[in-house]
Amino acid sequence: MERAVKALLVLALLLGACTKESVFGPPTGSVCPDEGTQLSYESFGAPFMVKYCTHCHSRSKVGNERNGAPSFHDFDTLSGIKAVHEHVDETAAAGPDAVNEGMPDYKTPPTLEERTQLGEWIACGMPDETDIARGDNHGVP
Amino acid sequence: MRGRTVEVLAVALLGLAACGDDGGSRPDAGGDVVDAAPGVDVIPDAPPREVIMQTVAMEVDDTIEVGTMTGGANDRALIVMTAPTPTLSFNIHSHPSGGTVEAVSELNKQNVEYIFVPPSQATWFLLLRNDGGTAMNVELRVELHDNMQWSAL
């Protein structure tokens, strides 16, 4: 009986060690401010991605260089972010409904303020400077 | 004592085997890659239940999530795409259980005729990417068979 318990404990330990933890959380529920956002791709989105994401999520990275980042999930262009922005929100952003910390898998992760800004920028439609200049910074209608 | 050690080791090996990858990896992909169920990747004689046709305008370097297909191993979709140059790349993946499963990833195609049979019941994302140096329009046609559901994004 004791033997069986030990064996089960070892099995449980091993299975626990190989379980893949989900990197996805719930949508953050971030809302674009009424006045729109002043966060642009140039001032916020691109620097955030360079600092935290494109070490792996880049079209220039292949094979092991991607550290497990799925192909076609590359954030070195604005359209690359927009294509999977809901997943970016669910893995790295913060808002009233959730603080998602599934990504990045870094020793120095984004601050809560940066994650909240990411949520706002996504909620506002991920504008660039041109969008902001023409007032297109209030999110997708 | 020795018998007990052997027993624990056997259980440990069993546990490690259970950790095995479920689909291997492609050199250019981080997600698991899975094959369609064998023998079902043919389009039935019956006409498609629904046909989606769309022109996708793509700027240089654009990555666009054009839609999702929800279905399982008994559902099928014929995906036909035509680009003006062999610079169209596409990917179909899903995110079950918080991970990523990649069904297919092809680079630099001009004409695509791909029969998609989901390896498992899930919502599958169809991504297109323009890997060329000029903007282009991609003609997309998706024929839905069985219970495959399409949702445009």
Contact present, A110 and A18 (Cβ < 8 Å): no
Task: Check residue B20 and give its pLDDT.
Answer: 38
Buried b (16+ CB within 10 A) or exposed e, A51-68: ebbbbbbbbebeeeebee
Separation CA B12–CA B17 (nearest Å): 9
Number of residues that this document lists for chain A: 141
A71, A88, A126, best to mutate vs chain B, most B CBs in 10 Å: A71
Q: Is the pLDDT of residue B74 over 80?
A: yes
> Rounded to the nearest 5°, which phi and psi values hold at B118?
-60, 135
Nearest residue to B137 via CA among B46, B66, B69: B66
The Cα angle at residue A132 between residues A130 and A138, in degrees rounded to 5: 135
pLDDT at position B90 is 97
Whether the upstream peptide bond of residue B84 has omega within 30° of 0, thus cis, is no
User: B90-138, pLDDT tens digit by residue?
Assistant: 999 998 888 889 999 999 999 999 999 999 999 999 999 999 999 999 9
Its pTM stands at: 0.76
| Helix H or strand E encompassing B80 | strand B76-82
Whether A83 has its CB under 8 Å from any CB of chain B: the answer is yes
Is there a contact between A15 and B14 if contact means CB atoms under 8 Å apart?
Answer: no
- B29, pLDDT greater than 60: no
Task: Name which of B25, B68, B100 to mutate to probe chain A: the one with the most chain A Cβ atoms within 10 A of its Cβ.
Answer: B100
Q: What is d(CA A78, CA B53) in angstroms, rounded to the nearest whole number?
A: 26
pLDDT in tens, chain A (141 residues): 566 555 544 444 444 444 456 889 999 999 999 999 999 999 999 999 999 999 999 999 999 999 989 999 999 999 999 999 999 999 999 999 999 999 998 789 999 999 999 999 999 999 999 999 999 999 865
A77 → closest Cβ in B8, B19, B61: B61
Alpha helices in B19-147 (DSSP H): none
Helix, strand or coil, per DSSP, at residue B43:
coil
For residue B59, which phi and psi values (nearest 5 degrees)?
Answer: -75, 170
